[in-house]
Structure 1
Amino acid sequence: MQMASNIREKHVAVFAFPFASHPALMLTLVRRLASAAPAVAFSFLNTETSNRALFAEPGCDNIKPYNISDGKPEGYVPVGNPEEGINLFLAVAEDEFRRGVRVAEMDTGLKITCIVVDAFLGFSGDIAEEMNVPWVGFWPSGTCSLAAHFYTDLIREKTAQLIVSTGPDGEIVDLIPGLESVRLGDLPSGVVSGNLESPFATMLHKMGRTLAKATAVPINSFQELDPDLTKNLSSKLNNFLNIGPFNLISKENTASKVDEFSCMKWLDNQKTRAVAYICFGTFFNLPPQELVELAETLEETKTPFLWSMNKDSYKHFPKGFLERTIANGTGKVVPWAPQDQVLNHVAIGVLVTHGGYNSMLESIGAGVPMICRPYLGDHYINSWMVERVWGIGLRIQGGNFTKHATRRALEQVLSLSKSMDEKIKTLKDLAHKAAAPNGSSNQNFKTLVEVVCGAGLHLEPNF
């Protein structure tokens, strides 16, 4: 359906990165922008598969999805390498987004006035420059990982000059401006380790080099979480804007989800702060041996647990584990849980997580400490922040679930030392204050609306 140009004053093109939680977070941001500026048309460029999932239900009438190719040849069969699909997409992405922009302009009858992009898409600045329009690079993860990519050249230079004899476990002081120290092995892959020439690493390197040209860089975080990193990046980037946590600001996205597996009812029958909520995200599965070690430790320690996991992994549980824990009421395993609601239940004492940034933010907003078992990407540096910077949890000893490491972690976190308790409560309060109507994140969002939609544009009166 064509949007009538006489009622639309501006036209914003949105470039989504169609992997993991990125497109859903981008749509959350765009819905906030679209609600604040109903006279602006938003064209959401994304792959067909991703768009189909995102737009299954009606939303704002000034957001319209447009499909671009995912780069997969006809009859393509994935081989299990998570970067393979990304590499195929990146091979065609720049041309596809250019084509998508032309289609959206013809369809709406409106020239693009601004581009809002997932910051991963490092080539977007070139497109915006050619079109002579402002561009906004949205970073959906944490300040720490953004700083690692922004300072990649500096980090490589520093590490090349150092004699790093301790390998990936070597802790380096002042490696990233605004961060006191970090383990070399916790830097995101592609910064100093992994295949630095892969399409994905090359894209992120270019992003780090070009992001300073963006008109604004919004991030799904709150500035009180990482004040030193925020201060530093604010001096390097135009309009570096903490506008989260999204789960606290956009409550309508979580409150409407049906608890189809009765997680909340089960939690109502558990003791306060006693339950381990276990979830490794939608895209990651524990190796079978680690799953067994974790499951057996939960049963041996009689730790109540709610475990959200893909049904395909149920077969790896120890024989009789599900039947025994269900029968004695200590365990519940579900294929999906309303995570934000679960974390805010008084029975939850710890989140056992892969260290994905969204899960961490939700845990902070609920005041729940964490046990992290990172897999890839930013999981490692996020886990470093949880344990060593924020002091609100720990990483599983040795990086994998063993009975010894799991028992130790559960005992440490569920006992909740006074120091950890105070730190998680403080961060929870700061997150809620930032998300309040007059909080820092909402004030920053007003700045973002002016950047994207233009000063003086008609905005909703309550905005």
Structure 2
Amino acid sequence: MSTAGRGSPHVAVLAFPFSTHAAPLLAVIRRLATATPDTLYSFFSTADSIASIFSASNDLPNVRAYDVGDGVPEGYVRVGKPQEDIELFLRAAPANFRKGMEEAVAKTGRRVSCLVTDAFFWFCADMAAEMELPWVAFWTAGPASLSAHLYTEHLRQTLGVCRGIDGREDETLQFIPGMSKVRIRDLPEGVVFGNLDSLFSRMLCDMGRALPRAAAVFLNSFEELDPTITADLKSKLNNFLNVGPFNLIATPPRASDESRCMSWLDGQGRASVAYISFGSVTVPPREEIVELADALEASQVPFIWSLKDHSRENLPEGFLKRIETRGMMVAWAPQEEVLRHDAVGAFITHCGWNSLLESIGGGGVAMICRPFFGDQRLNGRMMEEVWGLGVGVEGGVFTKKAVMNCLQLLLSQERGEIVRDNMRALRRQAEKAVGPDGSSTRNFKLLLELLSIP
């Protein structure tokens, strides 16, 4: 029997509470809720996740947060294995989400009409079918990585993974649409190399099988960035909807700047500053922090480095004193505003998807990519070889020489201006996509229609 009753729609939103998954999902839900005030959005995540992403004063009455269990049994003693908390959460998630939805229905008197979930939740294909509801999945990364997961079984069969890929890491994926410049080594772990039986590998493979059953899959990107991959995914999914970049749709409130990054940048020359940040999760190993610091000091390039306080103990002795007149070390920086400043000419980054989009939406900042895990290598390869937005670090790890070469290339040579021109051209396409008649605007309207069916 259907749980979707007549009357106003009630969308249940199931968030993945780890890494930076829940926050971008909430951002798009808030945008949807603003456009559809009669639709109720019940947002489910763990208590810690809810506390970290919901402000004290939620100004949208049709968005309500509900805590779900984290899956850790009472009295459980962690054994310290990788992804232990994620495994515990996922094991209990289907039952916990069902319980949460029953609570929301009881409190509001409105039956659930649609499931919007993180794409990781492959089990929602069956859950939605049992509840006779449409399932709409949100992919938090880019089109290329989504394609890799949809093609996982095809990749394994074509590459003969059972025979191993040693010595073939530089082979390109000519047989996958839009991936002709992508090498085997650029794929996320668990697709064709690494532990193919790990929790994440099995989860993403199951997701790739399940997503064609979704009523729609949407993501924070724009069609013009990856036209070939977009066309291919449209042929494989019921509704593949690029609805971003989010950072060009709504200007966020001005972030606090306690470290005075912006006033410091006002005193620097155009495209002369390097900005360094690896997101909220990634921390380079100690030896690479030392190499990066040595390169910044030797190059004499002015810089802002966003580095958590606990990681500063890995800096070379006396470094902070020696660079105090031309460098800023901060625990946090208003990244989007920094990247929009004319003084910033290079962004040293892990190439996470959100950082990449923020760079495109900035003032034309060339990227220097040192990827670490997940989709970062794939993003970096697309950034350098397909879109021409920057360079990768030679050898894939920070060395003093490799970083100095990248800085010189992008800040002191013609290559840097070419890259910044490419970045500005792509930004214009992104701005057009989110404009009144743009592709992302049309896709967002279609998403609204899908969620507005009671």
Aligned partner of 1:268 in structure 2 is 266
Aligned partner of 2:347 in structure 1 is 351
Q: Secondary structure at the match of 1:323?
A: helix
The amino acid of 1:407's aligned partner reads M
Aligned partner of 1:312 in structure 2 is 310
Moved more, 163-172 or 203-212: 163-172
Separation in structure 1 between the aligned mates of residue 238 and residue 334 of structure 2, nearest angstrom: 36
Aligned partner of 1:186 in structure 2 is 186
Aligned partner of 1:413 in structure 2 is 410
Aligned partner of 1:292 in structure 2 is 290
The answer (yes or no) to whether the contact 1:168–1:183 under 8 Å persists in 2 is: no
Aligned partner of 1:460 in structure 2 is none
Separation in structure 2 between the aligned mates of residue 90 and residue 416 of structure 1, nearest angstrom: 50
1:381 aligns with 2:378: yes
Aligned partner of 1:47 in structure 2 is 46
Structure 1 residue 203: Cα displacement: 1.3
Aligned partner of 1:35 in structure 2 is 34
The answer (yes or no) to whether the contact 1:212–1:237 under 8 Å persists in 2 is: yes
The answer (yes or no) to whether the contact 2:390–2:419 under 8 Å persists in 1 is: yes
The amino acid of 1:133's aligned partner reads L
The answer (yes or no) to whether the contact 1:8–1:40 under 8 Å persists in 2 is: no
Moved more, 243-252 or 223-232: 243-252
Q: TM-score, normalised by structure 1?
A: 0.92
Aligned partner of 1:443 in structure 2 is 442
Q: Secondary structure at the match of 2:225?
A: coil
Structure 1 residue 88: Cα displacement: 2.0
Separation in structure 1 between the aligned mates of residue 103 and residue 133 of structure 2, nearest angstrom: 17
Separation in structure 2 between the aligned mates of residue 301 and residue 339 of structure 1, nearest angstrom: 23
Separation in structure 2 between the aligned mates of residue 214 and residue 230 of structure 1, nearest angstrom: 17
Moved more, 219-228 or 97-106: 97-106
Separation in structure 2 between the aligned mates of residue 413 and residue 168 of structure 1, nearest angstrom: 31
Aligned partner of 1:332 in structure 2 is 328
The answer (yes or no) to whether the contact 2:43–2:64 under 8 Å persists in 1 is: yes
Separation in structure 2 between the aligned mates of residue 256 and residue 19 of structure 1, nearest angstrom: 26
The answer (yes or no) to whether the contact 1:175–1:181 under 8 Å persists in 2 is: no
Alpha carbons of structure 1 residues 77 and 387: separation in structure 2 relative to 1, 3 Å: farther
Q: Secondary structure at the match of 1:394?
A: strand
Separation in structure 1 between the aligned mates of residue 195 and residue 71 of structure 2, nearest angstrom: 21
Structure 1 residue 83: Cα displacement: 2.2
1:390 to 381, 387, 401: 387
The answer (yes or no) to whether the contact 1:372–1:394 under 8 Å persists in 2 is: yes
Q: Secondary structure at the match of 2:67?
A: strand
Aligned partner of 2:338 in structure 1 is 342
- The residue correspondences of 1:76-225 to structure 2 (distance < 5 A) are 83-160=83-160, 167=167, 169-225=169-225
Q: Secondary structure at the match of 1:56?
A: coil
Moved more, 272-281 or 196-205: 196-205
Separation in structure 2 between the aligned mates of residue 82 and residue 431 of structure 1, nearest angstrom: 38
Aligned partner of 1:14 in structure 2 is 13
Alpha carbons of structure 1 residues 72 and 164: separation in structure 2 relative to 1, 3 Å: closer
Q: Secondary structure at the match of 2:182?
A: strand
Q: Deviations over 1:269-321 (max 9, x none)?
A: 11110111000011111111110110111011101110111110111111111
Aligned partner of 1:3 in structure 2 is none
1:280 aligns with 2:278: yes
The amino acid of 1:352's aligned partner reads I
Q: Secondary structure at the match of 1:276?
A: strand
The answer (yes or no) to whether the contact 2:173–2:184 under 8 Å persists in 1 is: no
Unaligned runs of 5+ in 2: none
Alpha carbons of structure 1 residues 81 and 26: separation in structure 2 relative to 1, 3 Å: farther
Separation in structure 2 between the aligned mates of residue 187 and residue 39 of structure 1, nearest angstrom: 42
Q: Secondary structure at the match of 1:141?
A: coil
Could you say what the CA RMSD is over the residues aligned between the two structures, in angstroms?
2.1
Structure 1 residue 325: Cα displacement: 1.2
1:256 to 243, 254, 257: 254
Q: Deviations over 1:117-136 (max 9, x none)?
A: 11111111111100001110
Q: Secondary structure at the match of 2:361?
A: helix
2:399 to 399, 402, 410: 402
Structure 1 residue 74: Cα displacement: 4.6
The answer (yes or no) to whether the contact 1:350–1:368 under 8 Å persists in 2 is: yes
Q: Secondary structure at the match of 1:64?
A: strand
The amino acid of 1:408's aligned partner reads N
Unaligned runs of 5+ in 1: 1-5, 458-463
Separation in structure 1 between the aligned mates of residue 410 and residue 104 of structure 2, nearest angstrom: 51
Q: TM-score, normalised by structure 2?
A: 0.94
The amino acid of 2:95's aligned partner reads D
Moved more, 193-202 or 215-224: 193-202
Alpha carbons of structure 1 residues 266 and 161: separation in structure 2 relative to 1, 3 Å: closer
The amino acid of 1:229's aligned partner reads I
Separation in structure 1 between the aligned mates of residue 441 and residue 36 of structure 2, nearest angstrom: 15
Aligned partner of 1:321 in structure 2 is 319
Q: Deviations over 1:50-87 (max 9, x none)?
A: 00111133231101111111123456687876623222
Q: Deviations over 1:226-256 (max 9, x none)?
A: 000001101111111110011111223xx33
